[in-house]
Amino acid sequence: MPSRDNGTSPPASAPDAVPRGCTNLKLRQASRLVTRHYERFVAPTGLKITQYSLLSHVVKLGPLRAGALAAAMQLEASTLTRNLQPLLQQGLVQMRTGDDARSRVVEATAAGRALREQAQRAWKRAQSALNERLGSARVAALHALIDECLPLLETDAPHPEDTPHG
């Protein structure tokens, strides 16, 4: 049985490693576990982790156009609209008409800013607990790998099947 390190060092990379299994499945499994971890910490505030993330972006970036918020969070407009609904209903954010009649501006209310501050403390505890569980070096390596991969996965990036072969 392989030994597990204490999580303080990032996993060794093998230049000739061959991926096994479905990357999408592995990422979704990891995402569900990490989401569950954060949910346990943030849930007492009454927010889901996705709502906390959205509220945090509105507080940090707002007031801003809904389209700009969707772009900043890399969300489809319909997903943003659906995810904003509970925050609007709870009075944590408000939407008003922008510069023209078609644009909408999203901004946090005073109640939203206060709840975000409370939820941020819970999020920080979740982050610290995750760093402790996985090891800070491993989390930093994971962040670096994700940051390296994100631009490669952008929808505007050319895909090999789109490139003519010579």
Instruction: Scan for tokens 């569900």, then name that residue.
Output: 32
DSSP strands (E only) in 2-83 = 64-65
Q: How far apart are CA 111 and CA 90, in angstroms?
A: 9
One pLDDT digit (tens) per residue for the chain, 166 residues = 444 455 555 555 556 788 899 999 999 999 999 999 999 999 999 999 999 999 999 999 989 999 999 999 989 999 999 999 999 999 999 999 888 878 889 999 999 999 999 999 999 999 999 999 999 999 999 999 999 999 999 876 555 665 555 4
Q: Contact, 105 vs 95, CB < 8 A?
A: yes
Strand partners, 23: none
* Strand 64-65 with 93-97, pairing: unpaired
Q: What is the pTM of this model?
A: 0.79
